[in-house]
Structure 1
Amino acid sequence: MNLLVVLLCINPVEEDAIKKIKEMTDGYGCDVYIEATGSPVGVTQGLEMIRKLGRFVQFSVFGKETTTDWSVIGDRKELDIRGSHLGPYTYPVVIDLFERGLLSAEGIVTTTYPVEDFAEALAKAQEKDSIKVLLKP
């Protein structure tokens, strides 16, 4: 099976992200959209740029409500919606444990790659001995 993974960073302040994705895919849209900003506009933006029968992954924690037209999810695009478990109070507790020396990350990050070596890092992450493969800009 051939798999093409494109890692793309679009700054929506500087360019129209929806337009860019539509242009890159001949109007088709992206297969998977991962919302990780915590900004309500990230939800509506993702619903516009994802293709019909695509997968929407909600990864962030919101500080305020977000609304959307639910007919986009069900009737118009028939999307697969996935959520992730991310606790809003997790980070301060973990940071405190690290600061007090009660928790160590030693051994968690098994390999580090520059972003340019994304494909190699992705292959490494599939290996059984990899716990956490890190990409650094």
Structure 2
Amino acid sequence: MSSLKAFEVAVDLAQRQRDAARQALKDAQGARQAAQAQLSQLTGYAAETQGRWGAKTGGAMQPEVMFHHYQFMGRLDHAIGLQNGVVSGQDARVDRARQALLQAELRLASLRKVLERRRTELALQQQRRDQKQTDERASLRVNRPQDQEH
């Protein structure tokens, strides 16, 4: 019976690990969504800024202003590139968290299966013991009247 308790403890631990893995996946997905939202903001801002400057290029602009605009757009493009890297990193983190959850679920399922198999075995052993006792009692009852007749 103690081995059954050990399996129950193992299943409980595996459930907690699975729940923690599920939460880690949710957290990773949330971080990925936040990173994607920030990337969308940056690209939207870059497009909007470029659109505003594109409309002004028909007029005369000072070279210093154009230089600062190109410099700003270069920095914005660099920030977009960095944020693309962050999004890719978050994608990898989500994939790892998804794999960890899958492994935790598989472990939990296998432990549950072992526990159920062990419970079935114990129930069958108990049933056999009960049947043996019943058979022995029946045998004793059958043998007693014969002993008394002789």
TM-score with structure 1 setting the length: 0.22
Greater share of helix residues, 1 or 2?
Answer: 2
Greater share of strand residues, 1 or 2?
Answer: 1
Asked which structure has the greater RCO (Cα within 8 Å, sep 6+), the reply is: 2
TM-score with structure 2 setting the length: 0.20
Could you say which structure has the larger radius of gyration?
A: 2
